Chain A
Amino acid sequence: MLLNYIGAFLLIVFGLYIILVKKNLIKIVVGMSLLDTGINLLLVSVGFRPGGTAPLFMNDLKPGSFFVDPVPQALTLTSIVIGACVTALALSLVIKVKEHYGTIDADKVRRLNG
């Protein structure tokens, strides 16, 4: 269980590191996606209970069995959808940046400054 939290933390840190350091705009988008993935892992780990079953009401539930928290799973789905939207929109903007600037180097895409 601790491993999940460590993994989530590492994913978030790596994502942030990529956004901060990499100059290629596509890599920045990859970093954003990684950051999102880390948060999703954290989110789904929060709702996990050791030994719990999937939160479905079935007829053959054994006595004494219990569910994992279903709310974080619903939230994770929402968050995944939003993350996919972010990636798609950002990548389409990168295509347009390439059309206008001829480059996707963050150091050169800086006409709006000051």
Chain B
Amino acid sequence: MNGYSSILPLMAIMLPFLAAFIIALTGNKALGLKRVLAVIFTFIPLLAVILLFKPIIENGHIVSYWLGNWVPEKTWAIGIGLEIDAFGLFCGLIITLTCFLSSIFSIRYMEKDNGLEKYYTMFMLLTASMIGFVFTGDLFNMYVMLEIMTFAAIGLTAFRNHKYKSIEAGFKYIVIGSLGSSLILLGTVLIYAQAHTLNIAQISAILHGNYNAVTIFALALMLTGYAVKAFLVPCHTWPADAHMSAPSSISMLLSGVMSKTGIFGIIRILYMIYRSKCVAAPSMEFLMIFWGTITMLIGASMAIIQTDFKRLLAFSSVSQIGYVIVGFGVGLSAKTSVAVTGTMGGLYHMLNHAMFKSLAFLCAGAVLYRTGTTDTTKLGGLAKKMPYTTVLFMISLASIAGMPPFNGFVSKWLIYQSTFEAGYWPVTIIALLVSVMTLAYFIKLAQSVFFGKIHKEHENIKEIPWSMRVPMIVLAAVCIFAGTFWNVISDKLIEPAAYAIYNIQGYIDVMFNKGYAQNMFNHEIPIPKMTRAMAGYWSPINWLLLFVVLIIGFIVIASLLSKGNKKESIIDLSDTKYDTFTGGEKEYFSHMAGNDLFWGLKHQFRGYFKTLKNAHSGIVNDYVLWVAACAAVVTIYLFAVL
């Protein structure tokens, strides 16, 4: 390993932390400087991640760094080690890219708020702790980073504390979030009591084949704890509140990226620490697929009945995380080629969800920035005033609904195919159904916010400034790129990351010495072949061409029609001679409200939707009960099957 690549991860973690303290120390002076600092110090980690691509992705190394040079003594880890494999780098890329774009978006978006030095301090803490979380190789360090992350996120959720909803969301978040963290800490303690080390590589080497009741209990606790962070049902109650109350530049990080850290934790536990218990174990496969399916179904059902722009997006995130978990659940399958397809689908959907959901939240932020509300019943007809935002939102819509030339299609296709091949065909059907529901609630959102008739008070609004448009355009470009050139993304990112998830032996050997893992395991751990045979070939370029042709055709026809219409049907309704035909009533504004577009569906299933709505009662005790019950059920299930 050459010198520079091993120092890069440390820089990516420490420099944002340093920036957080610098910004906090300077007080409320020189705001412009703080903005520049935030952009620079989120760009440096992005640069570090990009520089790490060469050693990790191309050369296939795993970069490690022992803090303070506390190297292992007699192959026994005594210090904190950073370890970055392709999977950690993949998550790091998602995190750093979105944080960088968010810092650019914040420049104008947050200009009307005061107390911005606190905003930027917590923003940098959030960035640094997320990067630290995915780069660390130490179980307790993961917990600490998670706590810093949660604090920063709570602080940012409650940032606009003159609004009641920010405070309420912040309080619910801290109760449920710290309960989740407590479960993770409890699991960490129990694992430490068994393995007497905190290094993930060493834990997985020691625990291999030595599982007992305590470690299984720890698995149940940690799974539930990370499920709170990744908001799997029934621990999904806080994100809806938190994401709708936080500033949009933060909602995008909470929803698009912080949920991925929870998934990162789940993957590390299942595929690394409990490798021989979980991988190729049908009972664990069933648990994760079942959990993911419930999550996607309930998230989408809740999203349909929402009327707030950002709250709807938050529930949509819950449903999309379900897809990711289903993908990784299939990854635990014993049939290796199916497992690889599932893992790749899960990874691909992680990337895609981060991109299109961030884009959707930024669109919500753009609407909020210009109109001052995110309530869809008070919005409408913004397409003419904000054409860029509308087009970008439509790209996000097409991506999340899984339309062919966009990225959502690729990952969802992988997930459909892998669940079907794994024998879980009901899950495939539910996933397709949820995809239709996703399209439905996004269409509802687009119709009620961007189309229809504009409200009087919004007639003078303008398009958002360029510094806010550019991050959105970048995200949209990534969406299109990842959908069209899926070969490139798959070769450069997804396959190395999927390989790294299964490559437990390499992960352990890098931290200690070559052959350590095999010595501990007594046999070679097989790594499934990274095959794309099951992935289903299709030609995105043709779809893109078709899409462009259709769009151009639509524009041409629409412009021709509108020209024709202008000539013939100009009826002056204010002329009283038409009163004979209309009965003389005043013509009134009949914009169908956003929450009414699917009123028929909602009416038919009113029992179901009402039960769900009442279940999300908003009382914090109930939500805690759900988490506790979830922990109990998972514990009982794991003790029954493992």
Contact bitstring B294-308, A, C-beta under 8 A = 1, else 0:
000000000001000
A10 at the interface (CB under 8 A from B): no
Q: Considering residues B144, B167, B196, which has the most beta carbons from chain A within 10 angstroms of its beta carbon? A: B167
In the complex, which residues of chain B have a beta carbon less than 8 angstroms from the beta carbon of A97? Answer: 167-168, 171
A20 vs chain B, min Cβ distance (A): 6
In the complex, which residues of chain A have a beta carbon less than 8 angstroms from the beta carbon of B625? Answer: 20
B118 vs chain A, min Cβ distance (A): 13
Could you tell me the dominant secondary structure of chain A's interface residues? Answer: helix
Cβ-neighbour of B621 out of A35, A89, A96, A106 (below 8 A): A106
B123 vs chain A, min Cβ distance (A): 17
Cβ-neighbour of A112 out of B196, B241, B614 (below 8 A): B241
A3 vs chain B, min Cβ distance (A): 17
Segment 149-163 of B: residues with Cβ below 8 Å from A = 151, 154-155, 158, 161
B202 vs chain A, min Cβ distance (A): 13
B171 vs chain A, min Cβ distance (A): 5
A86 vs chain B, min Cβ distance (A): 5
A34 to B409, CA, bound (A): 47
B461 at the interface (CB under 8 A from A): no
CB closest residue in chain A, given B194: A46
With known contacts A32-B179, A90-B175, A96-B167, A85–B616 Cβ distance under 8 A = no
Cβ-neighbour of A78 out of B144, B189, B305 (below 8 A): B144
A97 to B170, CA, bound (A): 10
In the complex, which residues of chain B have a beta carbon less than 8 angstroms from the beta carbon of A69? Answer: 196
In the complex, which residues of chain B have a beta carbon less than 8 angstroms from the beta carbon of A25? Answer: 171, 620
Segment 278-313 of B: residues with Cβ below 8 Å from A = 305
Structural contact, B617 and A96, CB atoms closer than 8 A? no
A71 to B198, CA, bound (A): 9
Contact bitstring A61-97, B, C-beta under 8 A = 1, else 0:
0000000010110010011001001100110011011
A60 at the interface (CB under 8 A from B): no
Cβ-neighbour of B171 out of A43, A72, A90 (below 8 A): A90
In the complex, which residues of chain B have a beta carbon less than 8 angstroms from the beta carbon of A106? Answer: 619-621
Structural contact, A21 and B171, CB atoms closer than 8 A? no
In the complex, which residues of chain B have a beta carbon less than 8 angstroms from the beta carbon of A19? Answer: 175, 179, 621, 624
Contact bitstring A27-62, B, C-beta under 8 A = 1, else 0:
010001001100100110010000000000000000
B192 at the interface (CB under 8 A from A): yes
B147 at the interface (CB under 8 A from A): yes
Cβ-neighbour of A114 out of B151, B179, B305 (below 8 A): B305
CB closest residue in chain B, given A78: B144
Structural contact, B151 and A75, CB atoms closer than 8 A? no
Structural contact, A110 and B165, CB atoms closer than 8 A? no
Structural contact, B165 and A16, CB atoms closer than 8 A? no
With known contacts A46-B189, A106-B621, A112–B168 Cβ distance under 8 A = yes
CB closest residue in chain A, given B192: A46
In the complex, which residues of chain A have a beta carbon less than 8 angstroms from the beta carbon of B168? Answer: 97, 100-101, 109-112
A4 to B165, CA, bound (A): 41
B628 at the interface (CB under 8 A from A): yes
A93 to B167, CA, bound (A): 6
B146 vs chain A, min Cβ distance (A): 10
A93 to B193, CA, bound (A): 35
Structural contact, A46 and B193, CB atoms closer than 8 A? yes
- A-B contacts, 5 of them at CB < 8 A, read A71-B198, A75-B192, A86-B178, A97-B168, A111-B164
Instruction: List the interface of chain B (C-beta within 8 A of A).
Output: 140, 144, 147, 151, 154-155, 158, 161, 164-165, 167-172, 174-175, 178-179, 181-182, 185-186, 189, 192-193, 196, 198, 240-241, 244-245, 305, 613-614, 616-621, 624-625, 628
